[in-house]
Amino acid sequence: MSAADPPDLQIEVDRADDVVTVAVAGELDLASVPQLRSCLTDLIGRGELQLVVDLGGVTFCDSTALGVFVGAHRRVAASNGRIEFREPPPSLRNLLVVSGLDQILTVV
């Protein structure tokens, strides 16, 4: 991997009934966040408004990812949908608490 290549980020999308789960694994930072943003924007644009973002596999997260979370939350909420952020690792949960986003986002 060259310095210009984004770090490994895996995103898997699965549908069960009316809920779409987006499982994220790897690092969420400036280089990789566009991939997650694109995935969520595409899903929401297609009318998928019951989303679960499984963060259990995230190994690193910076503030750029938090912006993606807030943007997705706002777009889904504007259409009377629901987005949940599940199983954030302890470091990400702490980041959500310190930033106050745990009071805005649905984190389970």
CATH number of residue 54's parent domain = 3.30.750.24
Q: What is the mean pLDDT of residues 36-49?
A: 97
Residue 68: give the domain boundaries.
30-87
For 33, the token pair is: 């966040």
Is residue 39 situated within a structural domain?
Answer: yes
pLDDT-derived band of residue 8, with 50, 70 and 90 as boundaries? confident
Q: What is the pTM of this model?
A: 0.90
Residue 55 above 50 pLDDT? yes
Please check whether residue 76 is in contact with residue 84, taking contact to mean a CB–CB distance below 8 angstroms.
Answer: no
Is residue 92 situated within a structural domain?
Answer: no
d(CA 8, CA 77): 30
Is residue 55 situated within a structural domain?
Answer: yes
d(CA 94, CA 92): 5
d(CA 92, CA 98): 10
Domains held by the chain: number = 1
Is residue 8 situated within a structural domain?
Answer: no
